[in-house]
């Protein structure tokens, strides 16, 4: 008996149109690199700042479709971690995201009781070009070990 890779209801020689996959959701996380040079701010404390910022933005945007979808597929979560040189660049990014039309959902984590902005997390998105533009404009670059 011969077998065919064509489904039984598709005529031989007919091509099946494939549905393009949507761009995956991603969270962009931006950390102040200069904190590593300050006393008390090692890699561990900075990782805690990332956890705080990402938890906060997920909580704040929990009703958004993108966040629900992101949290509904735990095995396919994407994150990109960026660095900025200093506080001024992190605040510039926060202001750029806030002033976008419409504003881009994000959370700027401010560590307490020190009142030190440390990290920013952008809500899950499909690699929004406005986010990329804001990251570039603020001097963000991928985190390098």
**What is residue 18's predicted lDDT score, i.e. its pLDDT?**
78
Question: How confident is the prediction for the chain on average, in pLDDT?
Answer: 91
Spatial distance between the Cα atoms of 100 and 119, rounded to a whole number of angstroms: 19
Spatial distance between the Cα atoms of 65 and 142, rounded to a whole number of angstroms: 27
Q: What would the DSSP string read from start to end of 56-96?
A: HHHHHTTTSHHHHHHHT-GGG-EEEEEEESSHHHHHHHHHH
pLDDT digits (tens, 9 = 90+) for 23-49: 899 999 999 999 999 988 999 999 999
The full set of domain ranges for the chain reads 26-142
Spatial distance between the Cα atoms of 122 and 105, rounded to a whole number of angstroms: 6
pLDDT band at 4 (very low <50, low <70, confident <90, very high): very low
Query: In terms of Cα–Cα distance, which of 131, 23, 29 is closest to 80?
Result: 29
Looking at per-residue pLDDT, the higher value among 1 and 16 belongs to 16
Spatial distance between the Cα atoms of 90 and 48, rounded to a whole number of angstroms: 17
**What is residue 13's predicted lDDT score, i.e. its pLDDT?**
65
pLDDT digits (tens, 9 = 90+) for 105-128: 999 999 999 999 999 999 999 999
CATH architecture classification, 26-142: 3-Layer(aba) Sandwich (3.40)
């Amino acid at each position: 008996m011969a077998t065919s890779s064509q489904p039984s209801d598709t005529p031989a020689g007919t091509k099946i149109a494939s549905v393009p996959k949507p761009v995956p959701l991603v969270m962009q996380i931006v950390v102040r690199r200069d904190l590593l040079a300050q006393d008390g701010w090692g890699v561990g404390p900075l990782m805690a700042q990332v956890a705080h910022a990402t938890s906060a933005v997920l909580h704040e945007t929990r009703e958004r479709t993108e966040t629900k979808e992101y949290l509904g597929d735990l095995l396919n979560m994407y994150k990109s971690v960026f660095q900025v040189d200093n506080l001024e660049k992190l605040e510039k990014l926060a202001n750029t995201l806030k002033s976008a039309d419409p504003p881009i959902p994000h959370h700027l984590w401010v560590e307490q009781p020190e009142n030190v902005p440390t990290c920013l997390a952008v809500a899950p998105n499909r690699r929004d070009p406005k986010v990329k533009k804001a990251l570039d404009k603020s001097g963000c670059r991928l985190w390098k070990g």
